[in-house]
């Protein structure tokens, strides 16, 4: 029985510009930690090889320190690694992979397949047919040559590629780089390990996407896993199991608020969120001043507890009640303006009322 770990889309060096600097740094570091967990998993499983199907790095211009950290993270597994470039880290003449080779940090047990061809693993009696990307976008199927490549008799025949299986993936796949959906069958592969799609996805009994091992988008598509592939021998159907590996859970919460019970339900939901969650909170509806204060307090508490929280409130409107306005103690001219705005029915007047009441409430909270 041959045991493989199939992974892809590590995106080392990714920048999280939409987050606060502290959170962005932690999310970037989590990608190194994921690679280290992959290495330890491979060692624990006594894997015969780890196949990495592209986009190891997120960009060509990552620093020498980042490159060194990546290979340091791989150290716990001393077995065979086979890596190919993807669309983010294509094998350019002066790209990240050439930089890594010049640094001399690529261990002897790591094979970088920077050109199309067959990587032979004699001890594992396996041949890996590799289709690395040598430019960011291609418009021909780089796995087509697999059909004619020969491999030693009686060895496993494995494929390693990065791109979009035609007709089976969403239109917003990262790159063109087409791959025929029946390539595994055409090329007589025992298993075809793919990268580019960031979630674990079965294409066929011999063809899978592993997805990124550390979730990095607000999509529920099976990210945060690696695949353990067991093959009894040439021609046998692989046994593929997705193994959870990622640390952070990215979630989107969309809530419409109208009555106090809606606010309390959201407060309870936020209180239940854990330290490793990354939240996108989108709010709509109306709140009185008490509801807004309760919500602000809950969001502030959640921001201090979860890994990261982004909140979109553009659809949320402040609608102060008569009691709210009375509690503001706005005398004189301001009181008259509030009263006039509250009696008006137009949307502009109502929006002005909400803004003014919010400013006054904020002033009183600051003075308290």
pTM of the model: 0.87
125: Cβ–Cβ under 8 A, 6 or more apart, which residues?
Answer: 2, 152, 154, 155, 156
CA 132 to chain centre: 22
d(CA 134, CA 179): 15
Please list the pLDDT of the chain residue by residue as tens digits (368 residues).
999 999 999 999 999 998 999 999 999 999 999 999 999 999 999 999 999 999 999 999 999 999 999 999 999 999 999 999 999 999 998 999 999 999 999 999 999 999 999 999 999 999 999 999 998 888 899 999 999 999 999 999 999 999 999 877 655 554 578 999 999 999 999 999 999 999 999 999 999 999 999 999 998 888 999 999 999 999 999 999 999 999 999 999 999 999 999 999 999 999 999 999 999 999 999 888 788 889 989 999 999 999 999 999 888 887 777 676 665 555 555 666 666 655 655 555 556 656 666 665 555 555 55
Reported as half-sphere exposure (CB side, CA atoms, 13 A), residue 1 has a value of: 10
Domain boundaries, the chain: 2-244, 249-367
Task: Say if domain 2-244 classifies as CATH 3.60.21.10.
Answer: yes
Backbone angles phi, psi at 57, to 5 degrees: -105, 155
| Burial status of residue 153 (CB atoms within 10 A of its CB: 0-12, 13-18, 19 or more) | exposed
d(CA 220, CA 246): 13
144: nearest Cα among 156, 119, 126, 161 = 161
- Indicate the angle between helix axes 289-305 and 347-367, nearest 10 degrees: 60
Q: CB under 8 Å, gap of 24 or more: what pairs does 354-362 form?
A: 354/317, 354/318, 354/319, 354/320, 355/318, 357/289, 357/318, 357/320, 357/324, 357/325, 357/328, 358/289, 358/292, 358/318, 358/320, 360/328, 360/330, 360/334, 361/289, 361/292, 361/293, 361/320, 361/324, 361/328
pLDDT at 221: 86
d(CA 103, CA 45): 31
For the beta carbon of residue 208, count every other beta carbon within 10 angstroms.
25
pLDDT at 171: 54
């Amino acid at each position: 029985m041959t045991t493989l770990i199939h992974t892809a889309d590590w995106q080392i060096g990714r920048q999280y510009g939409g987050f606060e600097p502290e959170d962005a740094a932690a999310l970037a570091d989590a990608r190194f930690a994921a690679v280290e967990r992959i290495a330890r998993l491979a060692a624990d499983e006594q894997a015969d090889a780890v196949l990495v199907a592209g986009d190891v790095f997120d960009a060509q211009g990552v620093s020498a320190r980042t490159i060194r950290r990546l290979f340091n993270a791989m150290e716990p597994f001393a077995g065979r690694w086979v890596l190919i470039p993807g669309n983010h880290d294509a094998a350019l003449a002066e790209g990240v992979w050439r930089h890594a080779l010049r640094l001399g940090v690529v261990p002897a047990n790591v094979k970088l397949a920077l050109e199309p061809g067959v990587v032979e693993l004699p001890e594992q009696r396996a041949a890996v047919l590799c289709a690395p990307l040598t430019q960011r976008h291609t418009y021909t199927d780089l796995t087509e040559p697999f059909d004619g490549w020969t491999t030693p008799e009686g060895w496993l025949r494995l494929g390693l590629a990065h791109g979009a299986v035609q007709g089976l993936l969403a239109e917003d796949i990262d790159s063109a780089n087409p791959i025929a959906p029946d390539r595994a069958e055409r090329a007589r592969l025992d298993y075809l390990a793919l990268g580019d799609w960031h979630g674990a996805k079965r294409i066929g009994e011999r063809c899978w996407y592993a997805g990124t091992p550390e979730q990095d988008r607000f999509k529920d598509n099976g990210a945060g896993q690696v695949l353990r592939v067991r093959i009894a021998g040439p021609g046998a159907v692989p046994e593929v199991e997705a193994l959870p590996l990622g640390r952070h859970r990215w979630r989107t919460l969309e809530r419409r608020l109208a009555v106090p019970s809606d606010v309390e339900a959201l407060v309870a939901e936020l209180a239940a969120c854990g330290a490793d969650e990354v939240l996108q909170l989108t709010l709509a509806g109306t709140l009185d001043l008490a509801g807004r204060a309760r919500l602000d307090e809950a969001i502030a508490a959640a921001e201090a507890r979860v890994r990261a929280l982004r909140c979109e409130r553009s659809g949320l409107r402040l609608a102060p009640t008569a009691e709210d306005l009375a509690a503001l103690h706005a005398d004189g001219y301001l009181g008259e303006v509030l009263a006039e705005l509250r009696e008006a029915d137009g949307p502009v007047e109502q929006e002005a009322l909400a803004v003014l009441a919010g400013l006054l409430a904020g002033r009183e909270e600051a003075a308290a």
